[in-house]
Amino acid sequence: MGLGVLIKGMAVKLFAFFCIFCLVLASLPVLPVLAQEEAYPLIFGKKPETEEPVLELWMDEEEYVVRPGECLWDIAENLWGEGARYTDILEKNKNMITNEDLIYPGMSLKTAGRGYIVRKDAKYGGVQMGEYSMDMPGGWTAGVISSGDAYANFALSGNGISGIACLIQDKRQETEADVLDWQKAAEKIQKYAEENYPGKVSDLTFEHYGMENDEAVCLYSFTYRADLEDYEMDGVFSCRVCVGMKLTEHIQAQFVGYAVNYDIESCVRYVTASFEEHTQGYDLDEFTVSDSNMAISPESPWTLEGMFNSVAWIDEFFTALIKKAAGIEPEKSPKENLVDKMTRTGK
């Protein structure tokens, strides 16, 4: 199924969605970000007992110092709520532990916690695109979104003022480098936001997980704020943004999510982690997803060459919506001004 077939007919519905968004924005002086119950919680401890499929995410390794009287079972119980998972500690420290009954206080062990996400919407089929698939949140739809110069021709939308723009590409070496040193990448994102969007971007948080087949999942979240007084309206517009990135063997999938009064973090984490590539039946020497027409624009330069600049995209997206709600006409491009001039003069 081609991308054009999937999104055909959705543009009208999504246009109506954004008209409603503008009416809401114009009528409410303040739109705060409220704490929401997690839609797709990351569950730590014991693996959930459910008939539905479960995603397993591994936290980054940490050092654990053994305390007096502890055994491996106790440590696993304290870390993950499941003593039987002491074998995970054994596997991580097999070069150090020769006898599982012989550990001592002060010993430094490598540990990596695990979390689980129940794929409660997997039964609905999600998005199936041949080379890849991913779960879609229940009740959401796929289509095109645009606001000002910000555009995405494949996006998920639903649950009030919320959406996720998707960008699926062939994996790049620059992206792998960013993900391998996620702490350094996080520092770059933090610095970029502070220097370019002071007062607009705040509360940055970062997450990094491993999955099966050496796949990596990275996320960063932030609060986006705009002072409506700058547009001759009262109050402050505020929403939460979460950006997810998953690297499979051949693909990098990026998801730019935003929401007002909805838990976008757990939603983006769920969609990102559920992304899978499907190479069976393909010639791996020629496998590519670059021949699709999937796009997010504009692509603004920033310090991470392998990742899409979601901060600039979100700013353009919401600035244009706020201006529309305030009745401010968008500035015309030089080409549009030239056309208007020729129309007026008859040339």
Q: What is the DSSP string of 178-231?
A: HHHTHHHHHHHHHHHHHHH-TTTEEEEEEEEEE-GGG-EEEEEEEEEEEEGGGG
For helices 310-325 and 11-27, what crossing angle results, to 10°? 70
Residues of the chain with CATH 3.40.1000.10: 3-39+126-325
Give 182-190's long-range contacts (Cβ < 8 A, gap of 24+): 182/206, 182/208, 182/218, 185/218, 185/304, 185/307, 186/220, 188/303, 188/304, 189/220, 189/303, 189/304, 189/311
pLDDT digits (tens, 9 = 90+) for 210-263: 998 889 999 999 999 999 999 989 999 999 999 999 999 999 999 999 999 889
Going by C-beta distance under 8 Å and a sequence separation of 6 or more, which residues neighbour residue 143?
7, 10, 11, 13, 14, 155, 157
Judged against a pLDDT cut of 70, whether residue 203 lies above it is answered with: yes
Judged against a pLDDT cut of 80, whether residue 93 lies above it is answered with: yes
CB environment 86-111: b (16+ within 10 A), e (fewer): bebbeebbeeebeeeeebeeeeebeb
pLDDT digits (tens, 9 = 90+) for 55-90: 999 887 778 899 999 999 998 888 777 788 788 888
Looking at domain 43-117, does it have CATH number 3.10.350.10? yes
Question: pLDDT band at 8, cuts 50/70/90?
Answer: very low
CB environment 315-345: b (16+ within 10 A), e (fewer): bbbbbbbbbbbeeeeeeeeeeeeeeeeeeee
Q: Give the Cα separation of 229 and 269 in Å (integer).
A: 34
The pLDDT, as a whole number, for residue 84 is: 83
pLDDT digits (tens, 9 = 90+) for 133-192: 999 999 999 999 999 999 999 999 987 789 999 999 999 999 999 998 999 999 999 999
The pLDDT, as a whole number, for residue 347 is: 55
Token output for 126: 């999600």
CB 139, CB 160: distance < 8 Å: no
Residues of the chain with CATH 3.10.350.10: 43-117
Q: Which helix (H) or strand (E) holds 241?
A: strand 236-247
The pLDDT, as a whole number, for residue 343 is: 53
The pLDDT, as a whole number, for residue 78 is: 80
Judged against a pLDDT cut of 70, whether residue 336 lies above it is answered with: no
Per-state percent for the chain, helix, strand, coil, to nearest 5: 35, 30, 40
Q: Which helix (H) or strand (E) holds 26?
A: helix 11-27
Tell me the percentage of the chain whose pLDDT exceeds 70: 84
Q: Give the Cα separation of 57 and 243 in Å (integer).
A: 17
Mean of pLDDT values over 275-302: 92
pTM of the model: 0.79
Third-level CATH fold of 3-39+126-325:
Protein Transport Mog1p; Chain A (3.40.1000)
Judged against a pLDDT cut of 60, whether residue 345 lies above it is answered with: no
